[in-house]
Amino acid sequence: MQSNGAILVLSGPSGAGKSTVIERAAPHIGAFYFSISTTTRQPRAGELHGREYYFVDKARFEAGIEAGEFLEYAEVHGNYYGTSLAPVKEALEAGKLVIFDIDVQGHRLVRERLGEIVTSVFITPPSIGVLEARLRARGSDDEQTIAKRLQNAAEEITALEEYDFVIVNDDIDAATNAFIAVANASRYRPSYEKRAAFREQWLHN
């Protein structure tokens, strides 16, 4: 039962250290598939199709919506962002842990759609002040973008109660170890369907 795939949703403000945590945890969490979103927005400098996003045009995206290809999608500032179902299903069937780095709204949609097999974790910096300092130190955003990120963070933190696990990233090693534990544990949450089947088989073997 436990070799089966699982779903792990990771949310948290930009600047919480999610990418670093995933990168450091990667060698310690078994086979996983990091879900790549599809978007209609233009690629930025350095972004690659199939790495940061799958970049498609609006007509293609809307055809995908029509065909029920998306696990979840949303329109943000006139651009579509979504998660295709097919690679997720394929990874699950291969026994992989599927990791989503999505926002609190995406988490709600994924949980609604995939139910009790979803494990979710919110990674946050210790305070909004620390977040602001990190964003400034990173130096990749202008003032307006920083202000927007802080505003988003203040909204996202209100969803803290909706997550199974909360990791406060004030130490990258501790946060990584916490994430490794959550990721490995998430593989041991079989669906109710699988539990029922296991029980039947358990009693007759």
Interface contacts to a second copy, rule CB under 8 A: 1-2, 121, 124, 126-130, 154, 157-158, 160-161, 164-168, 174, 177-178, 180-185, 187-190, 192, 195-196, 198-199, 201-203, 205
Neighbouring residues of 74: CB distance < 8 A, sequence distance ≥ 6: 80, 81, 82, 105, 106, 109
Rounded to a whole number of angstroms, the minimum distance from the CB of residue 121 to a second copy is 7
Q: Name which of 36 and 181 has its Cβ closer to a second copy.
A: 181
Q: How many C-alpha atoms does 89 have within 13 Å on its Cβ side?
A: 7
Q: How far is the CB of 149 from a second copy (least distance, A)?
A: 15
C-alpha 171/C-alpha 20 separation (Å) is 12
Shortest separation between residue 2's beta carbon and a second copy, angstroms: 6
Identity of the residue numbered 158: T
Cβ nearer to a second copy, comparing 35 with 119: 119
Based on CB atoms, which residue is closest to a second copy, 109 or 166? 166
Q: How far is residue 102's CA from residue 119's CA, in Å, rounded to a whole number?
A: 13
| C-beta of 64 vs 187, nearer to a second copy | 187
Least distance to a second copy from the beta carbon of 25, Å? 12
The string over 103-126, giving b where at least 16 C-beta atoms fall within 10 Å of a residue's C-beta and e elsewhere, is bbebbbbbbeebeebbbbbbbbbe
